[in-house]
Amino acid sequence: MGNDENELRRHIYANSTDRHVIRKLLQKIFLPCSCKETCPKHEVAFSIEETVRALDIPEENISTLLCYLELHAKKYIELLSPAYTVCKVISYGGPMQIRKAAKECPPLAMALALQKNQNENDQNVLEFAIVDIAAAIGWDSGICKHKLKNLEWTTVSGQPKRSTLNVSFSNLGFRLLAPGNLSDDQLDEALDSLYEHVVNQEKMALLQLRAVHQTLVDVAAPSYKSCLQQESTESGVKLKVKIREYFESPNPLDSITLTENKIVDEDQLVNDIRGLISTYRDNNFTGKAVARIFHGIMSPNYPAVIWGRCKYWRSHINVDFHTICKIATREILNFR
């Protein structure tokens, strides 16, 4: 297999996701609830930035997984537009103004009630998760935000006037409706379904890449000089025939096979894995993170602008990606 194909494979592996990563995502989506029978689905929201960092996969990949869940035959979730997940209320008139405003604002009153461990004398600033408050009082988060934003204004002598409170929203998050009473079997089914999607998508992309590579190899000239000397369009005709066969075939990828890149020196690979882990002890590496570094694939937690300077970056690009994952996982467990 040529180096050009290896380079393109990197883009496919960049979108792959491990099973345990999907499980972490599902834990953010399906929050336990007290519904006894059919759950009507509850509003759930979680930070985009924090989730990207925790899962070490791009935002668009997480969005794709959420879409798979929504399109599942069982309609596990219903996606809503992204929204800010955190509310911050600042009082320029002291904590008493917040407590006074809470008497006419149920979301603020609930936020105060949930802040049991906070000293009341230090409540000039109150910060809380919008969806948690909305769930506690049974309101939609949008209505809660509207009520909270109205705290910035008061009426004096029939005229609107700015109050001593400032209300701001931050931390953009994914937002959806999801049931909270799924059984373990249902959660496992959702996990299996998502992971199967990811695996199948990766396999299909690799087969498509292999098909393109084989086709181009078949019609390629041995050198550019041959192209200059030949006046016939034999290669062009051959390429057109192969392309037509591909799109007219019901299963064009059935004849394509994938081959792993064999490890030339497994001892060197193991030594480099151990060297990477030992050199960067502060990083909580996974097998996939190590494989990405060895293939020169950036991720949210391992950007190329920083890790591209690491001597291990792209050091084993000719070794099968999943083989590196497997060996790296073994070495990481041994290291711990």
Q: Are residues 276 and 156 in the same domain?
A: no
pLDDT of residue 275: 96
Residue 241 CB partners (closer than 8 Å, separation 6+)? none
Q: Are residues 240 and 290 in the same domain?
A: no
Is 257's pLDDT higher than 70?
Answer: yes
Please check whether residue 45 is in contact with residue 130, taking contact to mean a CB–CB distance below 8 angstroms: yes
pLDDT of residue 158: 81
Measured between alpha carbons, how far is 179 from 200 in angstroms, rounded to an integer?
Answer: 27
Of 325, 21, 74, 17, nearest to 198 (Cα)? 17
* Res. 48 pLDDT band, cuts 50 70 90: very high
Q: Are residues 171 and 237 in the same domain?
A: no
> How many domains are contained in the chain?
3
Q: Which residue has the higher pLDDT, 225 or 314?
A: 314
- Domain boundary pick from 125, 151, 181: 181
Q: Are residues 223 and 304 in the same domain?
A: no
Of 88, 82, 89, nearest to 44 (Cα)? 82
Q: Which region among 63-77, 181-195, 227-241, 249-263 has the lowest average model confidence (pLDDT)?
A: 227-241
Q: Are residues 57 and 166 in the same domain?
A: yes
Q: Are residues 279 and 238 in the same domain?
A: no
* Res. 1 pLDDT band, cuts 50 70 90: very low
Of 248, 207, 234, nearest to 8 (Cα)? 207
| Residue 217 maps to a domain | yes
Print the domain residue range for 4: 1-17+184-259
| Residue 89 maps to a domain | yes
| Residue 25 maps to a domain | no
Q: Which residue has the higher pLDDT, 99 or 2?
A: 99
Measured between alpha carbons, how far is 91 from 102 in angstroms, rounded to an integer?
Answer: 12
Q: Are residues 101 and 232 in the same domain?
A: no
On the 0-12 / 13-18 / 19+ scale of CB atoms within 10 A, 89 is: buried
Is 231's pLDDT higher than 60?
Answer: no
Q: Are residues 159 and 38 in the same domain?
A: yes
pTM score: 0.86
Is 291's pLDDT higher than 60?
Answer: yes
* Res. 150 pLDDT band, cuts 50 70 90: very high
Measured between alpha carbons, how far is 238 from 213 in angstroms, rounded to an integer?
Answer: 15
Q: Are residues 86 and 225 in the same domain?
A: no
Token match 């064999």: residue? 262
